[in-house]
């Protein structure tokens, strides 16, 4: 719902239930993939990984694995919190566009290339 692709890592009924709940919640079918549990390490080291939702039983191991990665610090969100509607903001990245009008003598059109 925040525009992210989702890898559900696990097997059996629980993994399928998570995938199905995401689909029922409005996540596009093409953005959800179900992966076997033995792929967890590969997923945690994927270059495009932006964050992890993990059940309480896996929070500590996931945090340790992510701490060993180079690069940005990634969020680990407890599964119990991730399902709450007010937590949706945790799955989005804020983007800001700043225009320094003072650099163009206060003329925003000049800076934007509008004549």
Helix (H) or strand (E) holding 110: helix 108-112
- For the chain, what are the domain ranges? 6-91
How much is the pTM? 0.68
User: Which pLDDT tens digit goes with each residue over 84-105?
Assistant: 777 777 777 677 777 766 655 6
Q: What tokens does 24 get?
A: 């029922």
User: Which pLDDT tens digit goes with each residue over 15-67?
Assistant: 899 889 888 888 888 899 999 999 999 999 998 888 898 989 999 999 999 99
Q: What stretches of 43-87 adopt beta strand conformation (E)? A: 52-54, 76-78
How is residue 36 annotated by DSSP? Answer: -
Residue 66: per-residue pLDDT: 93
Residue 5: per-residue pLDDT: 85
């Amino acid at each position: 719902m925040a525009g992210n692709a989702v890898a559900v890592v696990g097997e059996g009924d629980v993994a399928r239930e998570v995938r199905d709940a995401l689909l029922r919640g409005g996540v596009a079918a093409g953005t959800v993939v179900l992966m076997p549990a033995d792929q967890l390490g590969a997923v945690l080291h994927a270059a495009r990984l932006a964050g992890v939702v993990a059940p309480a039983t896996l929070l500590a191991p996931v945090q340790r694995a992510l701490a060993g990665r180079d690069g940005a610090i990634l969020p680990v969100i407890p599964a119990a919190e991730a399902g709450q509607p007010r937590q949706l903001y945790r799955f989005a990245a804020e983007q800001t566009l700043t225009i320094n009008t003072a650099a163009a003598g206060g003329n925003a059109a000049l800076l934007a290339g509008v004549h």
